[in-house]
Amino acid sequence: MNNENEEWTTVIKPKNRLLDIDLKAVWRYRDLWYMFVKRDITTSYKQTILGPLWFIIQPAITTIMYMIVFGGIAHISTDGLPQPLFYLAGISMWNYFSECLNRTSSTFTNNASIFGKVYFPRLVVPLSTITSSLIRLAIQLGLFLLVYLYYIYIGTPIHPNVTLLLFPVLLVIMAGLSLGFGILISSLTTKYRDLTLLFGFIVQLWMYATPVIYPLSMMSPHRQWIMALNPLTSIIEAFKYSTLGAGVFSWGMLTYSFVFMLFILAIGIITFNKVERSFMDTV
């Protein structure tokens, strides 16, 4: 029997490289990517009375609490900016990162039933999470814009600048960081479930190590250098600087965040690719 002229439509072969991303396969499954995005959006407010309004209520209530506790009681500086604008700017960006991080960190455990039944590029799931979270970010930035326009209308001195054009870059860095950390934690928690509890605690502390509720400028240069080791510091500060005209903007800090993002994304993908081959044995 001559098999030389046979043509195969699908070839199954093992991965030989750790950093092996089949982007063509991810693109072929773009319809599934869209379905996961749609699923994430609908399940976010399914069986709720207010629906997507929770995306506005949550940052609004959080901002009010920050104004009372950190602004009113602790008297923490906001760089001379109106407290609602200062807190909303930090909350909107942080919420996108934390939501992507928390949801991608449970990729394997939350989707074990799907992964065990059918094949598709597993990376589609965390990528869909990063994409669907953009809807929530857009809604919260809409709230920020309304408050922003109000303060401009009443004559508050706010000075946006040309660095606002860097917003897509800030978004890419945040998405890359959350994806890298998320899939790394997801890979580790398939075997070590205790890391899930530890990770939730770390994320809470991480926010206080990021200039969300306080400006970086209130710290001494030495402490600013230490805070800059947090890759999110430059992103939050750059967003505040570009929209409000106050904050610490540094090309060096942004470059560091970008390089750090590439590093953690590479480590996350390497671990993710290794774990996805055998995770069903441990989940």
CA–CA separation, 127 and 180 (whole Å): 11
**What's residue 281's pLDDT?**
47
pLDDT at 12 over 80: no
pLDDT in tens, 23-66: 677 778 788 888 888 888 777 666 666 667 778 888 899 999 99
Model confidence pLDDT, tens digit, residues 106-143: 877 777 777 767 777 788 888 988 998 998 899 999 99
Which tens digits make up the pLDDT trace of 189-214?
Answer: 777 766 777 787 888 899 999 999 99
DSSP state of 168: H
Q: What is the pLDDT of residues 249-266, one digit of tens each?
A: 989 999 999 999 999 999
pTM: 0.85
Q: Would you state the pLDDT for residue 17?
A: 55
- Cα–Cα distance between 140 and 244 in angstroms, integer? 16
The pLDDT value recorded for residue 116 is 67
Q: What is the dihedral of CA 132, 272, 263, 34, to 10 degrees?
A: -20
pLDDT value at position 262?
A: 95
Three-state secondary-structure class, residue 146: helix
Percentage of residues in the chain having pLDDT higher than 90 = 40
pLDDT in tens, 149-166: 999 999 888 888 999 999
